[in-house]
Amino acid sequence: MLRQFLMAKIHGGTVTRCDLNYEGSCGLGEELLQASGIRPLEKVLVLNVSTGNRLETYAIRSATRGEIALNGAAARYASPGDKVIIIAFAILSDSEIATHRARILILNDRNQIKSAKLQRVSAR
């Protein structure tokens, strides 16, 4: 059986830019991609804490450090300054669950990593 688990979470991010006419979707600074393990073109869920909006999109690499940008249609779901949580999931087999660790990043108001941890799947 396959099950879906949290793979990565970027918590407390601040939207820095929204561009309706830009091709691409959720732009993340290189340091956020590397620390979270999210890869360019990977599906992500963006939870807008400020508005309650939720959207599925994909990640792209941003050249700007600390950037969290929503582009194209995703730009309609947020405004610069909104607080967001960005999450990605992994589909795991029963044998992979025991060794799986989700990467969780907590950001400050400038989208710098305040803390990072690995969280394992808890027992039943």
Given 25, 36, 62, 77, which residue is catalytic? 25
75/22 Cα distance (integer angstroms)? 9
CA dist 59 → 42, 51, 121 (Å): 6, 21, 24
Active site annotation includes 25: yes
- CA triple 106-119-33, angle to 5 deg: 50
Residue 16's φ and ψ, nearest 5 degrees, are -100, -25
58 is catalytic: yes
The residue annotated as part of the active site, out of 22, 36, 50, 58, is 58
Residues catalogued as catalytic = 25, 58
